[in-house]
Homo-oligomer: A and B are copies of this chain.
């Protein structure tokens, strides 16, 4: 039918561009769009454009935000001397669900992987260093995944920050090795936070 209804197959191709969406799911979603009302469809289209236009990186923590400064950085109740370093915005989302973490974040937008060309200058490490002095950071929790690249990144950051008198810790291995932090359940994440250890 792809050949029969051009606008439908064009829409299905758009869905297929999104990460983790297969050809069949994309077609199913395209059909679903036809079942929405005209207003719902316009709202959908607007939400897509809106998200893309409004969302940018917070100038402080580099997390995604649609405000000038993200809500976490803008929150005076949070402890700005405690910084949790994560690889991406999805991990911030997982951490925030714990509701026990009162510090702030720093999003690296990746992990070190020299073989794939991801060297320190490709990550937001320069921005992290700039915060250490400015915000009087006393502890940095490196919450990267427990794989080779995540550990390498943690080691790199530890070696960089320790001479500056910053305590560098790592999430405890409550998180089972091989699991993405993004998918860890809240209790496991909470335990990992409590049992964090020096690198």
Contact = CB atoms under 8 A, between A and B. Distances in A.
Interface of A: 1-8, 10-11, 13-14, 17-21, 25, 27-36, 38, 40-55, 63-66, 70-72, 89-90, 92-93, 96
B96 A4 contact: yes
A17 B44 CA distance: 10
Nearest to A91: B1
Given A47-B7, A65-B4, A70-B4, A41 B52 contact: yes
A71 B8 contact: no
Contact of A71 (B4, B35, B65): B4
Contacts of A47: 7, 10-11, 13-14
A4 B44 contact: no
Contacts of A31: 19, 89-90
A147 to B, nearest CB: 20
Contacts of A89: 1, 31
Chain B CB within 10 Å — which of A13, A48, A53, A71 has the most? A48
A49 B40 CA distance: 10
A77 to B, nearest CB: 14
Contacts of A4: 63, 65, 70-72, 92-93, 96
Given A5-B55, A5-B65, A70-B4, A50 B17 contact: no
A9 to B, nearest CB: 9
A189 B62 CA distance: 53
A52 B7 CA distance: 9
A143 to B, nearest CB: 15
Contacts of A21: 29, 32
A43 B29 contact: no
Nearest to A35: B19
A17 B45 CA distance: 13
